[in-house]
Amino acid sequence: MNFEIKYKDARARVGILTTDHGKIRTPALMPVVHPGRQTLPVKDYGAEIVITNAYLIYKNDELREQALKEGVHGLIDFPGPIVTDSGSFQLSTYGEVEVTNPEIIQFQEAIGTDIGTSLDIPTPPDVPRERAERDLEVTLERARESLQVREDLMMNSVVQGSTYPDLRSKCAQELAGMDFQVHPIGAVVPLMESYRYRELVEVVMASVEHLPDSRPRHLMGAGHPMVFALAVAMGCDLFDSAAYILYAQDDRLLMPNGTHKLENLVEMPCSCPVCTAYTPTDLRSMDGEERTLLLAQHNLAISFAEIRQIRQAIVEGSLWELVEQRCRAHPYLLDALRRLGTYSPLIEKYDPPYKKSAFFYSGTESLRRPEVYRHWEKVKKLPRKEAVLLLAPVTKPYSQNLTHYLGVGYRKGDCGGVIQGKVPLQLAVVDVPFGVIPLELDQVYPLAQNETPTIMDQEARHQVKMMVEEYLKGFETALVDCKLVKKYQLDLEEQVTVVDPLSLDTDDLERVRMIADYQFLPGAGVALFNGPVRVVKSRKTGKIRHLYQGEDLIATLRASDGVLVLAALGARKLHQHLPYPVNRVVVNEEAEPFAREGKSIFAKFVINCDIDIHAQEEVLIVNSEDELLAFGKSILNGREITDFQTGQAVKTRKGGL
């Protein structure tokens, strides 16, 4: 295996792909280099890896001779990794090719390609199902055959299946079981050319869900920067662009939010060297070839800038915000974003729950984000008290600005005017987009680290109303601030006037217990913080910092995201409480001494793992006897840890337990 994940966000990964000609960072854009006709040194514009066409080389006597003699790296004069395509695209365009699958694989191996491709059948969208199935059988047969033929060539294997999501899934599943290194998703060019981005999402999600996490995925023929962020968020790692040159030949400029025709421009659209050196009039007055080269330079520059921005967004955890911006460039991209929202339960498993960057609400689509889905799933499972008081939002973090409640509320059940003192009372704030936020959780990411417009839209109103109504079902008795009843048009019994101020203090112990229940599993709170707990607060902010049992540290509450970071005692308590294999990463005998020394855990030493672990979570490291060896922070999620054989799985905090 030659792929490693460094950072994650949504389903996206920033990774390192290793080939015989070096390592590259992903997501990556591979400019298409035309053998024998290339005029631009793409490396100078940021290309770390390129793609060229083995079939075009094979068919041309001169190119073939040269490639066999000097290798493909010499032929196209590129020292880094080179991917070659097989002629399948020509097959889809012209209906036939003059080469067999074994021949083109042997040829790719002979010319020293880094990653070769078998002769898949790119089945177009909307064909009858029978044809899609028949083509798929050939594609799979050729995939199997290519593994027999290749010696040690790294191989692409293309997911096909037309616009039938179940066929895409089936294909991905079959290929996943074979020894391929990269998985392109094929035959999506016709979808992108006709702006059918919603179906692109369906095809990609149906494929990615069944591909191994440990192999990079290449969205074949995707070269417009407009779709990069969306595709990366779905788990695509590689793109190839012939668009930079094709659009340039057609006097069109690529931008991340669309395409400009040179004939319509009075101003150049960006600040790349071409756009700063020339005016649209300058370019229009040039001869064709010179102009094409300059436009191609702009197109490459803007495409690589977008890839860099995407990698940055993944590292800081703001990719979804970028996707939301990009998908507003065209109504059909907005369709794609809306469709993507329906996959939130799947994306949520991959999305790290704690990020550096705040959650920004950019429109009703934000209501379908994985973070909102996750919060709601967790809140529903939290232990309930007898009564609840729902409060209108104030400046975040809420609890610092809510000291008492006084005024008019609406009741459910018998509140008797003032409910506090009689029964245990759950305090919660109602806000967009997370719905119900128990006050104990008001500093946990992203419940404090989010921004929403002050003017509410109808969809948010509707969604939050549904959440509140469902949440209230779990309580016999409820008092709801009249502002909320009005704002969300809640159907509740008559008013109650609270004349004695209700104190809104949250108990420190209850606060950290609920954070633990929310962060781990319900019940973890009582397990971690039982008996006398000493709470140490920050002198500056007054916030809880450390939790001790006597002199022993149980956990620290991280200031940036309000999350519990375990100490040794906390890890032991959690290990005792949570049933195997919950929250555990199980390492083999070989890794045991390293884990005990507090060294980080590499994926290849992991023999079992809780599949529901997310990246960036506090996890327990145990041996096959479930003896606690160490604890740390996961870099990958449970599925990835299980699938990967390279790279770090857990950053160990402490060993020797």
Q: Which of 275, 322, 441, 485 binds Zn ion (CB under 5 A)?
A: 275
Tokens describing residue 227: 């779709």
- Please enumerate in sequence order all residues whose Cβ is within 8 A of that of 47, keeping only pairs 6 or more positions apart, or say none: 29, 30, 31, 78, 80, 300, 304
Nearer to ligand GUN, 183 or 252 (CB): 183
- Where on the phi/psi map is residue 77: left (φ > 0), alpha (ψ -120 to 50), or beta? left
Contact track, ligand GUN, 143-182, x by CB under 6 A:
---------------x------------------------
The structure tokens 């409820």 sit at: 478
Active site (annotated) includes residue 85: yes
Q: Which amino acid is at 630?
A: A
Q: Which of 298, 584, 614, 653 binds Zn ion (CB under 5 A)?
A: 298
Spatial distance between the Cα atoms of 580 and 610, rounded to a whole number of angstroms:
8
Query: Which has the closest alpha carbon to 563: 657, 650, 466, 443?
Result: 443
* CA dist 597 → 294, 571, 600, 653 (Å): 57, 16, 9, 10
Under rule CB under 5 A, residue 272 binds Zn ion: yes
Under rule CB under 6 A, residue 243 binds ligand GUN: no
- Please enumerate in sequence order all residues whose Cβ is within 8 A of that of 147, keeping only pairs 6 or more positions apart, or say none: 155, 178, 179, 180
Query: Which has the closest alpha carbon to 76: 21, 108, 32?
Result: 32
Region of 223-231, 271-279, 476-484, 608-616 interacting with Zn ion (CB under 5 A): 271-279
Nearer to ligand GUN, 154 or 220 (CB): 220
Q: Is 400 exposed, middle or buried (0-12, 13-18, 19+ CB in 10 A)?
A: middle
- Please enumerate in sequence order all residues whose Cβ is within 8 A of that of 271, keeping only pairs 6 or more positions apart, or say none: none
Region of 117-125, 135-143, 295-303, 499-507 interacting with Zn ion (CB under 5 A): 295-303
Q: How far is the CB of 390 from ligand GUN (least distance, A)?
A: 53
Q: How far is the CB of 160 from ligand GUN (least distance, A)?
A: 7
- The helix (run of H) or strand (run of E) holding residue 28 is strand 28-31
Under rule CB under 5 A, residue 91 binds Zn ion: no
Spatial distance between the Cα atoms of 170 and 160, rounded to a whole number of angstroms:
9
Catalytic residue among 44, 77, 85, 179: 85
Spatial distance between the Cα atoms of 78 and 80, rounded to a whole number of angstroms:
6
Q: Which of 186, 256, 393, 433 binds ligand GUN (CB under 6 A)?
A: 186
Q: How far is the CB of 220 from ligand GUN (least distance, A)?
A: 4
Site for ligand GUN in 60-119 (CB under 6 A): 85-86, 88-89, 117
Spatial distance between the Cα atoms of 135 and 129, rounded to a whole number of angstroms:
10
- The helix (run of H) or strand (run of E) holding residue 360 is strand 359-360
Q: What phi, psi does 274 have (nearest 5°)?
A: -70, -45
Contact track, ligand GUN, 264-303, x by CB under 6 A:
----------------------------------------
Q: How far is the CB of 299 from Zn ion (least distance, A)?
A: 8
Query: Which has the closest alpha carbon to 22: 78, 77, 106?
Result: 78
Under rule CB under 5 A, residue 270 binds Zn ion: yes
- Specify whether the CB–CB gap between 564 and 557 falls below 8 A: yes
Q: How far is the CB of 601 from ligand GUN (least distance, A)?
A: 37
Contact track, ligand GUN, 330-349, x by CB under 6 A:
--------------------
Contact track, ligand GUN, 193-232, x by CB under 6 A:
---------------------------xx-----------
Nearer to ligand GUN, 158 or 367 (CB): 158
Residue 117 interacts, among ligand GUN, Zn ion, none and using kind-specific CB cut-offs from 5 to 8 Å, with: ligand GUN
Q: How far is the CB of 178 from ligand GUN (least distance, A)?
A: 16
Contact positions toward ligand GUN, by CB under 6 A?
85-86, 88-89, 117, 120, 122, 158, 186-187, 189, 220-221
Q: Active-site positions?
A: 85
List interacting residues with Zn ion (CB under 5 A).
Answer: 270, 272, 275, 298
